[in-house]
């Protein structure tokens, strides 16, 4: 083998945000003509690592070598100079400028030179982009192509593609792969971040798996199978590692009518989704961020419209109902982003808890009644607070979420959709929320749990439906729920999944 030039070498990179250690000593190197796939679950540290590589973040510890030369005082400008270019997942173009203006802006070169170069590049790559079009008229794929051209114009030696295919159609993906092949043979090193295991085997020369801020698996792609990659993604010794278990039991529901029945709904971001939720159970919707689960929840709740299919609650068709009527019929939703949609952050805790129930009272508010309701739920959910009148944002994340649950319970729903209920909540409070969810289940509430935290969904769901790229492709019964299967479901490789392929 001819000796290949090493482009970038990262050694023992560490990075924490506040107390949270995101990268715990990652070492990685890339040489000419290598395509390294970086795989990892949500929050594994992939984007942090890439931001360090492009100089956006500063590493707490560790060294960066570019072209065998140690780099100090790293920043984005230097990264560009050294030929490291990131093609972000959501392209950062100037929508009101033409393609040509987008290419030439911020360049210290003659504009006609840049134009000439871009024309040559576009021709070489076999793309068809009119330089005079406005950037906001481009499709996502074209915007991405534009970003890649921007990188190549800067004579990038190392290209980082952050989930480039997440917004591409199949044929667009194919043409992207051709380009990657071309770049590879011209000596460019490529970091390819993805969730799609099929693609890893299609285009990469090496694979790296990142979990919990550490590299758990690294090597030539020929040495791996899909099974091995999935295994690398899983926490070690994954069975029975929790202190507290949450009770689940198998119930025969053959003769029972489901509380929620979703029949073949399609809409923006999802297609042909069917599942059901029975009384007193927790049903998990598993999958990765961006798989389309929030869109499904919003469609059921009535925020978005479905284009086809039906949603039944207790046998009543609620497909076309607005949000207000949906709540009245007994369905509640705890949204994904607590700060944006979940709480009224500068209102008092009491006002937050009673925000939905006061509608059912008379025209004037009854303070006594509000106090009574608040007291009841504060006790029932053991919300830690010093005064009901305090602003809710003074509470910890876990207690805020409990207050949200209290508000939802006050409307007396039959089914609660919880979207990422423990995001940004510390471990102890998480357990609390899990106990609350389990208790609610025993009291006869039904819960549809959406979570990207694979551990969470594994621990508290009675049944799991897997959502992968907008389709429902897998079902796990109580006995099939374990970390491996949940991981497989999220990456679309569970046996019985429609996308499953033998390797």
Partner 1 sequence: MSKIKSITAKREFRTFLFLIVLFVVVGIVNTDFLSINNIANSLKSSLLYIVLAVGMTFVLLTGNIDISVGGVLGLSAAVSGMILRDGGSFLVAIAVAILIGAVIGLINGLGVTKLKISSFIMTLGMLEITRVVQVIYTDGQWVENLPIEFKQLSQLSFMGMNVLSIIVVVSVILVHLYLSRSRRGRYFAAIGDNEDGAVLLGIPVERYKTLSFVISSVCASLAGLIFATQIGFISTTAGVGIEMTVIAAAVLGGVSLSGGVGSVIGAGIGAIIMISINSALVYMKVPAYWNDAISGSLLIIIVVSDALIARNASKQAKKERLNTRVLQEEVRESYAK
Does residue 258 touch partner 1 according to CB under 8 A? no
Cβ atoms of 134 and 97 within 8 Å: the answer is yes
Does residue 114 touch partner 1 according to CB under 8 A? no
Cβ atoms of 15 and 186 within 8 Å: the answer is no
| Cα 495 from Cα 230, distance rounded (Å) | 13
Query: In 137-225, which ranges are continuous DSSP H helix?
Result: 140-153, 170-185, 197-203
> 171 to 210, contacts with partner 1 by CB under 8 A?
171, 198
* C-beta closer to partner 1: residue 97 or 221: 97
> 289 to 308, contacts with partner 1 by CB under 8 A?
290-292, 295
Does residue 93 touch partner 1 according to CB under 8 A? yes
Shortest spacing between CB 280 and partner 1, in angstroms: 32
For the chain, helix (H) and strand (E) counts, in that order, are: 16, 20
Task: Please give the torsion angle defined by the CA atoms of residues 456, 460, 463 and 467, in that order, rounded to the nearest 10 degrees.
Answer: -20
Does residue 340 touch partner 1 according to CB under 8 A? no
Cβ atoms of 84 and 66 within 8 Å: the answer is yes
Burial 204-238 (b: 16+ CB within 10 A, else e): bbbbbbbbbbebbbeeebeebebeebbbbbbeeee
Does residue 269 touch partner 1 according to CB under 8 A? yes
Using the rule CB under 8 A, which residue among 33, 98, 117, 175 binds partner 1?
98
Count Cβ atoms within 10 A of the Cβ of residue 448 and give its class: 0-12 exposed, 13-18 middle, 19 or more buried: buried
Does residue 168 touch partner 1 according to CB under 8 A? yes
Shortest spacing between CB 88 and partner 1, in angstroms: 9
Nearest residue to 460 via CA among 484, 488, 491, 481: 481
* C-beta closer to partner 1: residue 176 or 343: 176
Using the rule CB under 8 A, which residue among 5, 119, 133, 372 binds partner 1?
133
Does residue 167 touch partner 1 according to CB under 8 A? yes
* C-beta closer to partner 1: residue 96 or 120: 96
| Cα 34 from Cα 191, distance rounded (Å) | 8
* C-beta closer to partner 1: residue 270 or 465: 270
Does residue 105 touch partner 1 according to CB under 8 A? yes
| Cα 328 from Cα 197, distance rounded (Å) | 43
Shortest spacing between CB 501 and partner 1, in angstroms: 5
- For residue 36, the cross-strand partners are 191, 206
In this structure, what token pair is assigned to residue 494?
């569970």
Shortest spacing between CB 102 and partner 1, in angstroms: 9
Using the rule CB under 8 A, which residue among 31, 71, 97, 121 binds partner 1?
97
| Cα 200 from Cα 39, distance rounded (Å) | 9
Does residue 140 touch partner 1 according to CB under 8 A? yes
Question: Torsions phi, psi of 240, nearest 5?
Answer: 55, 45
Does residue 336 touch partner 1 according to CB under 8 A? no
* C-beta closer to partner 1: residue 187 or 269: 269
From 206-214, 314-322, 420-428, 463-471, give the range in contact with partner 1 by CB under 8 A: 463-471
Shortest spacing between CB 433 and partner 1, in angstroms: 29
Binding residues (CB under 8 A) for partner 1: these are 76-77, 80, 92-98, 101, 104-107, 111, 130, 132-134, 136, 139-140, 166-171, 198, 268-271, 290-292, 295, 468-471, 473, 498-499, 501
């Amino acid at each position: 083998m001819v000796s290949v030039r090493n482009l970038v070498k990262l050694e023992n990179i560490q990075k924490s945000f506040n107390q949270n250690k995101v990268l715990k000593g990652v070492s990685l190197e890339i040489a000419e003509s290598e395509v390294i796939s970086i795989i990892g679950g949500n929050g594994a540290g992939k984007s942090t690592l890439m931001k360090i590589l492009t100089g956006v973040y500063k590493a707490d510890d560790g060294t960066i070598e570019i072209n065998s030369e140690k780099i100090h005082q790293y920043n984005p400008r230097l990264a560009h100079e050294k030929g490291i270019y990131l093609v972000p997942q959501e392209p950062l173009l100037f929508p009101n400028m033409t393609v040509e203006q987008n290419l030439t802006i911020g360049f210290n070169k003659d504009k006609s030179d840049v134009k000439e170069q871009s024309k040559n590049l576009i021709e070489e790559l076999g793309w068809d982009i009119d330089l005079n079009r406005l950037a906001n008229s481009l499709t996502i794929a074209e915007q991405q192509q534009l970003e890649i051209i921007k990188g190549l114009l800067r004579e990038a030696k190392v290209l980082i593609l952050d989930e480039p295919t997440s917004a591409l159609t199949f044929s667009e993906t194919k043409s992207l792969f051709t380009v990657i092949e071309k770049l590879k043979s011209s000596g460019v090193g490529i970091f390819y971040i993805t969730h799609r295991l099929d693609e890893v085997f299609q285009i990469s020369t090496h694979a790296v798996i990142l979990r919990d801020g550490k590299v758990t698996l690294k090597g030539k792609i020929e040495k791996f199978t899909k099974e091995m990659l999935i295994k690398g993604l899983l926490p070690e010794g994954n069975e029975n590692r929790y202190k507290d278990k949450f009770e689940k039991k198998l119930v025969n529901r053959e003769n029972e009518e489901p509380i929620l029945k979703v029949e073949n709904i399609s809409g923006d971001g999802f297609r042909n989704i069917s599942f059901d939720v029975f009384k007193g159970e927790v049903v998990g919707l598993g999958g990765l961020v961006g798989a389309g689960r929030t869109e499904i929840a919003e469609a059921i709740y009535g925020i978005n419209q479905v284009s086809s299919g039906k949603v039944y609650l207790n046998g009543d068709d609620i497909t076309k109902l607005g949000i207000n009527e949906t709540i009245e019929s007994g369905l509640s939703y705890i949204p994904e982003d607590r700060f944006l949609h979940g709480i009224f952050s500068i209102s008092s805790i009491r006002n937050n808890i009673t925000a939905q129930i006061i509608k059912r009272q008379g025209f004037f508010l009854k303070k006594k009644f509000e106090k009574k309701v608040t007291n009841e739920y504060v006790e029932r959910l053991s919300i830690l607070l010093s005064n009901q009148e305090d602003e809710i944002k003074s509470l910890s994340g876990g207690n805020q979420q409990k207050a949200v649950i209290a508000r939802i319970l006050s409307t007396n729903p039959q089914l609660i959709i919880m979207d990422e209920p423990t995001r940004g909540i510390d471990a102890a409070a998480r357990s609390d929320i899990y106990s609350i969810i389990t208790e609610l289940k025993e009291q006869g509430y039904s819960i549809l749990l959406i979570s990207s935290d694979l551990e969470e969904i594994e621990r508290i769901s009675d049944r799991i439906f897997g959502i992968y790229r907008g389709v429902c492709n897998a079902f796990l019964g109580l006995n099939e729920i374990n970390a491996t299967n949940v991981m497989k479901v999220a990456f679309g490789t569970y046996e019985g999944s429609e996308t499953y392929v033998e390797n």
